[in-house]
Structure formats: structure tokens, C-alpha cells
Structure 1
Amino acid sequence: MPKTKFLILRFSSIGDIVLTTPVIRCVKLQFPNAEVHFATKKNFQSLLQNNPYVDKTHVLDGSLSTLIAQLKAEKFDYVIDLHNNLRTQIIKFRLQVKAFSFDKLNLRKWIYVKLKKNLMPNVHIVNRYMNTVASLGIQNDNRGLDYFIPEKDELPRHWLPQAFQQGFVVYAIGGQHTTKKLPHLQMLALCRQVHEPLVLIGGKEDILVANAIVEALEKEGRSILNTCGNCNLNQSASLLKQAQWVISHDTGMMHVAAALKKKVVAIWGNTVPEFGMYPYQTPFVNIENTSLNCRPCSKIGYDKCPLGHFKCTNDLSFEQLPSLVNRLNKSTDS
């Protein structure tokens, strides 16, 4: 039987690509003789390289025309467009094969952001991604998200200081947009409510904030470890995998944690869970300021609060964190 070749399009970013993994898996396993290719930006290629359901990746590295020429040579049978932006529309036009395109519901998001009227369906974005391929007979297998860590990036427990080897919590302090992250002092207030040894993960851009948190908490006798800028994405995922539970802003690492089936405390700033991108098929609780009439102010985020007050995070209290974690633990014990 000849192969049926699928091209899945999603150029960015970490969380969005992780959220496409059920589609990848279900197409590969459910469609007879499927050969699954995935096109993304070069920065995110590593997210697909270890995925056993991806037969080949294609990289957008500057020239869209170069990528299109490579894709044309593959002679795909179907395109599954889970990004649905101008570039992917150009690709679909140039390839001239049957395509299935994700409905981004941009008008509904605009109405929610600008008019504060929530017309979003009460459906997780993963299920909306799956609806994109439903007409092919592909169904959600409800196995959740996938994230595959290569063996070389698995961090052994003895890599950690002695105080962390009996268990720890991970706080992913990063975020692409400032309005999706807690300010430094609020991060510190949150960390003070964590009674287990705490590991901070993030990129090089998070090092200064992480160092300030560590300096403050070590003076209080807390066990805290800063790995920001010292671990690659897969190594940070390895720390998530070993964590007892995870704290994350509304960022890609929240979805990586969900893929690894970790209990998640999700911190929300200017965005809201109602956009449908909360932790998928894993136990979680939300901490958010639901009393503001300016949320959500964006479907993505800003470099600073448009109104200047940043109350969505500055007014958050974290005293309820221990009871929320108890609720998480009880939900997994029952």
C-alpha cells in the first residue's frame, strides 16, 4: 500500500507546537500508512526531532520560497494547517493539494479583548485542533500531549544538590511577554509560599530575576536552585518531569508540564483560561485576578501594561497556594 503523505504546519511557538502533538500522533496511528511531515521555524525544530510520530521535519529559516520548493518536491497528499496565517496560506496556495485549516476564531477573540464579551466556545484548543482533521476520520485518542526528551538531556537526580534529591517543585519563571509574567516582587511572594525545595527554570533573559529571588530566599534559609540559562529546553523539561508539581505562567513550559502529566499551578496575567489554552488533560489549578474589567487586554501579551497599573498580577495574593496544592494532591489520590 502506498504511503499517504501529510504536511502539518505550525511555525511557532513552544507551547503552540506542543499543543499540536495529539494531531500528529492520531494522524500517524489512525490513518492507514500515514507519513507525517511537520514544518516549523528553525528555533523550534528540536521539539519535533525526538517525536516518533514525525517522519520528517521541514524548517523555515528565512526564505519562505526555499521552504515551499522543498515542500513541493515531497508531493504531499494533504496539508493540515494548524497555524493559519499569511505564510501558511501562501504555502497552501503554492502546493495546490487538499488542505484542512484550523479556525483561529480571531473575530471572537477580538470581541473578547476589545468588548469584553466572551463568545469563545468552552472547548480546549487541542480539541479544536482535532476538529480540523475530523473529516479524515481522525478522532482524539485522549492520551494528552506528547513531549519526548532525548536520553542525552535527561538529568539524573544526583545532578541536583542533596536537599533536592528527595523531591522538589519547579517554577518556570519565564514568558515571552512581560504582561504574562509576575513582576519580581510577586514572584518572590509566590516562592515564599512553596515549602518544598524549589527549582527555577527559564532562559538567559531570566537570570537576573532568578538570582535576586535566590539571594532573598537563601537568606531566609530556603532550599532554592537557579537553573535559568544553564539548561536547554529538553533539560528543563527533564526537571519538570522529576518535579512533584509545577508552577508556570501562561507560557510554553506550562504545556510541556502538561505533556509530562505534572500537576500544574497556572498563573494568569493579562490572558485568560477562557481562550482555551489551559493545561490539557492533567490536574491543574488557576491563580488569576477575576475582578478586573480590563482582562483580557490581549490574546497574546504586551511588553508593559496598557493601563500602567498591572493589577492583573500586582493584586494577586498567593496565601492560598498551599491549600490549592492540597486540592491538586487530593484530586490525584482519589
Structure 2
Amino acid sequence: MGDVAMTVPVLRALTEQHHNIRVTVVSRPLFKPFFKDLDRVDFFSIDVKKRHKGFQGLLRLFTDLRKLKVDYFADFHNVLRSRIVGTLFKLAGVKVATLDKGRAGRKALTKLENKVFEPLPTMFENHCKTLSKLGFTVSLENPKFPAQEKLVSELLPFTGEKNTKWIGIAPFAQYSSKVYPLDLMQNVIDTLAEREKSTILLFGGGEKEIALLNQLKRDNYNVIVMAGKVKLEAELNLIQHLDLMLSMDSGNAHMAAMLGVKVVTLWGATHPYAGFSPFNQPMCNCITADRDQYPLLPTSIFGNKEVEGYADVMRTIKPETVCEKIITILQQEN
């Protein structure tokens, strides 16, 4: 989800700076709402469970896409399936460019010995480089974001009309090494809930996460669990009305950032230097674990690798630090 959300600012800039092109995004149907407000951007839903499953399915996908008579094929994913489709397009005479993931740089950043602790190009920069191979120069300076839409009616039974500062919190991630300890997150939520004229909206998905979010809510009247309440399109509408999103290194950070919402992120085994910090957010909004105590950080690009003795790295991020950062940002808006 985060990978797809990170393409949105790039495609918005592409279509705004090149008025003679039309783009078709090929992805899972769940992500179609991400692109609904982009001019001259169509969406092709891939059916990975039936029609486009397996190698034969990729051949059918190529056949389906070829009917669109595309002039260029940009592979923003660079996995086996997308490379196969890209190769078929190349054989058909279509100009193809593939994302360079910078694997050597990622390996140098995360290795445990002789680490090279330097920032890598962001994913947004990498996507722009992919487009440049096709002849399209894209600048991400002075980005534009969608106009804020009216709060949709299906949200009102849960949120009511907005008359407070709305703080979104997405406390989960795919891997545990990227999740802020829940006892510390409880401290953050309780502290923020004590502020007058603040409403905290908790995001997540799945029965297990919903149960944990309800525990985090406790008896705070101004903490609302949104997980499982509405579909993605309405959730994006809600995120657009947030004053700030607090997230892990996860998809929620990128969904908020693509909508122009201020984002504070917490980083454990991963690090913003890997290029996955949210779009157009200052580095000071990325709160990282203490590398003085844990010098091998970052130990992973995606959080899927565990290093002995590094299970508690996120405990070096104090709840007071998180709350102070959020409150400072909110006060700057007044």
C-alpha cells in the first residue's frame, strides 16, 4: 500500500508538467481511490487471483494492456511479474524503463559491519529517474496537493463535524521491528487526549489490530477507533481532514503525505535514509531510535530482519519526545 501511495505525488507532477500525455496505472483494485483526482490518469485493475494469475495470466495482462496502445511502459515496481510484462512490451517495440532499487546502496546502509550511514535517493527521486529514461523530466519542487473535499456523510456518525484539532494515529506496521511499543503508544495517546480541543483518530485493520486499538482508546472520550468502520475511499477523505498523522514507517504515513497532511513518523529497525520517508515532509518529523545506543541501526530496509539484542530499539524514543513534536507542529498552525 505504501509503495503505491508513493507513486501518487510523482504521477501528479508528471501530468501537471506534461500536458500531452495520459497515464494508465496498473495495480490492485483496492488502490484505485489513490488516483481518483489525478488529471488524465486512468486505472487498470489487475486480477491476480484469476485472470492475471501465474505466467499465463501475465500473458493475458500483456494482451489486455496492449489494447490500450501505450507508447511507454514504466516499471515502478521491479519485481519478477512486472519485469516479465515489461520484457513483453519491449519485444513489441514499446520503450520500457525499470525502477533502479539501488540494492548496493541499501546493502551498504544496513550491513552490520563497515556500515555506510548515508542517505540514499528517495523512492520519489527513483521514480522520477525511471520516467527520465523515457524522456520525461519531472520536478518535485513546489508540489501540489488535491483540494480538500467535504467530509463525507458516512464519517459523521463516528467523527461528527470537525471543531477540534484532529490527530490521526496509525500504530501498526507489517513487521514488529517497526511498531512502537504499545505501552509507550498508550502514554502518547493518553497525553494527547488530555489536550483541550483535540480528537485522536486511530487507524488500523484486521480483527487483532481493532482489538488492540480499542484497548488503546481506553475511556478517553475524544479517542475514536476508525479501523474497520469505513472503506478506503472514505478513510482517505477522513485523512485529508487531519491536522497531523502519527505513523510508523508504514502505508498510512504515505497516504497522509500524498494528500498534503503533516506527518510524524517513528522509526525502529528501519531508517528514513533508506529513501522511504513520507513525501514532502521535513526530516525533523522522522523520529528515529537512538543510534548511540544501537549503532548497527538501520538493520533492515523493510523491517523484516531481526538482529539479536535490537528488539527494544524503539524504546529509546520517549513518549514525551513524540508528544512534544506533535504539539509543536499543531501550535505552528495556529
Do the two structures share a fold, i.e. TM-score over 0.5? yes
Contact 1:157 1:165 in 2 (8 A): no
Residues 122-176 of structure 1, C-alpha deviations (whole Å, 9 max, x = no match): 543212211222351422153547579987x835774345696433211012322
Q: CA deviation at 1:60?
A: 4.3
Report whether the alignment pairs 1:227 with 2:229.
Answer: no
2:211 counterpart residue number: 208
Q: Residues 33, 243 of structure 1: CA spacing in aligned structure 2 closer, same or farther, 3 A cutoff?
A: closer
Q: Is the 8 A contact 1:120 1:274 kept in 2?
A: yes
Who is 1:18 aligned against? 5
Rounded Cα–Cα distance in structure 1 between residues aligned with 2:64 and 2:147: 26
Residue equivalent to 1:109: 106
Written as runs of structure 1 = structure 2, the 5 A alignment for 1:44-83 is 44-61=31-48, 62=53, 63-83=57-77
Residue number in structure 1 paired with 2:297 = 295
Deviations 1:232-277 (A, max 9, x none): 2222222222222221111111011112222222111211010122
Aligned residues: 314
2:22 aligned residue (32, 35, 59)? 35
**Aligned twin of 2:85:** 91
For residues 291-310 of structure 1, the C-alpha deviation after alignment (integer angstroms, 9 at most, x for no partner) is 212322221123x8442652
Output the CA distance in 1 between the equivalents of 2:109 and 2:140.
31
CA contact (8 A) 1:15 1:256 kept: yes
Q: Which residue does 1:259 correspond to in 2?
A: 258
Q: 1:189 to 1:163 in 2, by over 3 A?
A: farther
Q: Counterpart amino acid of 2:2? A: G
- Give how far 1:314 is off: 3.0
| CA 1:179–1:144: 2 relative to 1, 3 Å | farther
Q: CA RMSD for the aligned pairs?
A: 2.9
C-alpha contact (below 8 Å) 2:89/2:96 kept by paired residues: no
Map 1:315-326; keep pairs closer than 5 Å: 315-326=316-327
Relative to structure 1, the CA distance from residue 150 to residue 204 in structure 2 (aligned partners, 3 Å threshold; closer, same or farther) is farther
8 Å Cα contact 1:155/1:235 also seen in 2: no
Q: Which is further off, 274-283 or 28-37?
A: 28-37
| Mapped pair 1:307 → 2:308 | yes
Distance between the aligned counterparts of 1:161 and 1:289, measured in 2?
33
Q: Is contact 2:13–2:143 with CA below 8 Å preserved after alignment? A: no
Relative to structure 1, is the Cα distance of residues 328 and 138 closer, same or farther in structure 2, using a 3 angstrom cutoff?
same
Q: Partner of 1:109: helix, strand, or coil?
A: helix
2 CA distance for matches of 1:290 and 1:246?
Answer: 22
How much has 1:177 moved relative to structure 2? 2.0
Secondary structure of 2:239's counterpart equals helix
Letter in 2 for 1:102: L
Partner of 1:159: 157
**Structure 2 contact 12–38 (Cα < 8 Å) conserved:** no
Deviations 1:4-29 (A, max 9, x none): xxxxxxxxxx2211211233233334
Q: Does 1:286 align with 2:316?
A: no
Tell me, in whole angstroms, the C-alpha distance in 1 between the residues paired with 2:145 and 2:175: 25
Task: Indicate yes or no: 2:207 matched with 1:187.
Answer: no
- Rounded Cα–Cα distance in structure 2 between residues aligned with 1:253 and 1:145: 19
Alpha-carbon separation, structure 1, partners of 2:117 and 2:180:
27
Q: Percent identity?
A: 23
Taking structure 1 as reference, are residues 50 and 129 closer, same or farther at Cα in structure 2, changes over 3 Å only?
same
Q: Secondary structure at the match of 1:248?
A: strand
